[in-house]
Amino acid sequence: MASSSGPLRRDRVADSGYRSFRERSLENREKDLTLPWRHWLRERYARYWYLLGVFLLDLLVAGTILQFDTGAAPETWQYALAIVVVIVLAYPEYLGYRRLWPPHPME
């Protein structure tokens, strides 16, 4: 008598239409490769959220610098410091962007 964990069970599972998560994800990945617009859309969506997050981070940093309590209104040095800090932060942000989305070989 054959056990239920042998090759017969595997055939029954394959015949029943059951697919594992890995098989479904591989199939979806193949679909993404055959449908370039999906890959393009997913990449553009990820870039959008990355750039939005970086922009909000820059606003937060600049706003924090401008909130230093020195009087009624922010002084000139606070604006200058906020601009310098945001410019300095732009380089690591750019490096992160290039690491996540490297340029294509044709560029």
pLDDT per residue over 60-100, tens digit each? Answer: 999 888 887 777 777 888 889 999 999 999 999 999 998 88
Residue type, 57: L
Does 107 reside within a domain? no
Q: Within this chain, do residues 40 and 85 fall inside the same structural domain, yes or no?
A: yes
Q: Which CB contacts under 8 angstroms, 24+ apart, belong to 35-42?
A: none
* Structure tokens given for 33: 């490769």
Does 66 reside within a domain? yes
Q: Within this chain, do residues 48 and 84 fall inside the same structural domain, yes or no?
A: yes
Provide the Cα torsion 82, 65, 89, 76; round to 10°.
10
pLDDT band at 5; cut points 50, 70, 90: low
Q: Within this chain, do residues 92 and 57 fall inside the same structural domain, yes or no?
A: yes
pTM of the model: 0.57
Question: How many domains does the chain divide into?
Answer: 2
Query: 91-106: per-residue pLDDT in tens?
Result: 999 999 988 887 766 5
